[in-house]
Amino acid sequence: MNAIISASRLASDLAAGTPPVLLDVRWQLSVARAAGEPPFDGRAEYEAGHIPGAVFVDLDRELASAAGPRGRHPLPDVAEFGAAMRRAGVSSGTPVVVYDGGQGWAAARAWWLLRWTGHPNVRVLDGGLPAWEGALDTSVPAPAEGDFEPQPGAVGLLDADGAAALARSGVLLDARAGERYRGEVEPIDRVGGHIPGAVSAPTNENVAADGRFLPAEELTARFKELGASGGADVGVYCGSGVSGAHEVLALAVAGIPAALYVGSWSEWSSDPERPVAVGPDPQ
């Protein structure tokens, strides 16, 4: 099953007799903002217009637990995540399509969590809401309760020690911008740099200018150049396990399974005992 779906295919599926469950996960990374600039409000964006039938999912509240020593977006409580998905109408036997405002990070986080907890059929709308050419709706649906029961462990998950080991034994990709990987800037976390042994692989290089993923063969070639080929174990991290999920999704499009280090740099860098590498060299 492909991990992504085109807007035209989604429109066709929605017009069919058994449409997928649609989840709207519009979100933006919260960083320091100019004085007086209001924070991004995903729910308000959703209520102003969404793909008909979509249910809003709050990344910070339903796809993560509270920020702390395990990072800015730790895994959510599994029972609470399952309850949130059931409220949104998610059932194990029903396809799910997730979209966001176009960046793809938030949708990929929802996709990864559903895959990690065992949902067999979940895809991300390629290009997000900007790719949708149909009408938008402002009514808020009240879906029937779903029956999804999360069973964690269906796809790979790394902790800090696992990420460190994989950087030595396999391929650990750093999905953040190159300047953060090199430690030249660090706008959020305690210290800049990267996990020793990790390879810089900015996730924005997996997509075209319109936010859609590059063709699978191009992604395969890109990841091969980064060492992710030939059966090597592959893992990904980012700042807090959101953009890293988007890289795992890109790897899935290329046919390469990969584990996600959810705590990512926000967890790693908060521990002064963890080593930090800087500069363009992985080590």
The catalytic site residues sit at 238
Contact 40, 28 (CB under 8 A): yes
- DSSP track, 104-160: -HHHHHHHHHHHHTT-S-EEEETT-GGG--S--B-----PPP------S-SS-EE-H
- CB 163 within 8 Å of CB 235: yes
Does the CA dihedral 217-222-225-228 come out positive or negative?
A: negative
User: What is the helix (H) or strand (E) element at residue 261, kind and residue range?
Assistant: strand 259-261
CA distance 249 to 242: 11
- Joined together, the tokens standing for residue 130 give 């900007």
Question: Which residues lie closer than 8 Å to 272 by C-beta, 6 or more apart?
Answer: none
- R_g over Cα of the chain: 18
DSSP state of 31: -
Q: DSSP class of residue 182?
A: T
Contact status, residue 194 vs residue 167, Cβ threshold 8 Å = no
User: What's the rounded Cα separation, in Å, for the pair 283 and 278?
Assistant: 8
